[in-house]
Structure 1
Amino acid sequence: MDEFLGKKYVLTDSENFEDYLVYLDLSYIARKVALRLNQAHVLIKNEDGTYTFQFLSTMANSSITFKPGEEFEEVKADGVKVKALIVFEGNKMIHTQTSDDGKVSRHEREFFIDKMIVTTTADGLDKIVKRNFIVEQQ
């Protein structure tokens, strides 16, 4: 994963993302705001062996710090706490979130030198969400 560290991946387009937001029970206004965010993601490796994954946008920024393969508590952008687990498999970062109501979401981020493709699936969601990001040139 080292070759993908520190790169800023900027959202270019999405498929079925609003359907996922409906699945998460976000309000109409919250969904519309989420759909309009100019999102970017950055993965950083920390000196202590943990990683920080940053979610950047024009309205708000957030981040999660994790150790691959170890479950942790995550507070999502919508304020919901979930149990999360992130593992690396080759050029993929697989992020599983389980909420208290039993909903399980899986975000598979596939990193490339010039882009990142995020595929999201969830128990009970009958669609696959695809989000495409490109590397912002510095």
Structure 2
Amino acid sequence: MVDKFVGTWKMTTSDNFDEYMKAIGVGFATRQVGNRTKPNLVVCVDEQGLICMKSQSTFKTTEIKFKLNEPFEETTADDRKTTTVMTIENGKLVQKQTWDGKESTIEREVSDGKLIAKCKMGDVVAVRTYVKEA
């Protein structure tokens, strides 16, 4: 079910990410760094069956480990403390983050050998595209 997401993915494009970061409340300086950063996304399944997702860049590396459908506490790259739930919906890996009465969703799907991440906050949508390296 998550097998198609497993691997190392290199970001190739990022569209409207500055607007998404504004919508979730990221400050100007952090947005400037975030806009220039092209992180790798590493997805794996560990020996206990936990799904691991690591975002690696020269700016910051973040990692989450989770079981599908089970809420967990996440500290995001911009230091938000969220309650996050990961699910599989229609073949997409969906990450719902809630904090301070707000909700953001990141939908990841694999299509034509690319991983497409749609980051949504209200009516703002950013699209980040990755290609598989390994």
Matched, 1:92 2:92: yes
Which structure has the highest strand share of the two? Answer: 2
Q: Partner of 2:72 in structure 1? A: 72
Deviation at residue 38 of structure 1 after TM alignment:
2.0
Q: Partner of 1:134 in structure 2? A: 131
Give distance in 2, aligned partners of 1:106 and 1:24.
11
Alignment length (residue pairs):
133
Q: Is the 8 A contact 1:4 1:112 kept in 2?
A: no
Partner SS state of residue 106, structure 1: strand
Give distance in 1, aligned partners of 2:72 and 2:119.
19
Matched, 1:34 2:34: yes
Q: Partner of 2:10 in structure 1? A: 10
RMSD (CA atoms):
1.5
In the superposition, the TM-score normalised over structure 1's length comes to 0.88
Deviation at residue 64 of structure 1 after TM alignment:
0.2
Q: Within 5 Å, give how 1:115-134 maps onto structure 2.
A: 115-123=114-122, 126-134=123-131
Give distance in 1, aligned partners of 2:33 and 2:43.
24
- Please, which runs of 5 or more residues in structure 2 have no aligned partner? none
- Please, which runs of 5 or more residues in structure 1 have no aligned partner? none
Q: Partner of 2:58 in structure 1? A: 58
In the superposition, the TM-score normalised over structure 2's length comes to 0.91
Q: Partner of 2:107 in structure 1? A: 108
Identity in percent: 31
Amino acid at match of 2:97: Q
Deviation at residue 41 of structure 1 after TM alignment:
0.6
CA-to-partner distance for each residue in 1:115-134, whole Å, 9 max, x for gaps?
Answer: 100112123xx322111111
Amino acid at match of 1:118: A
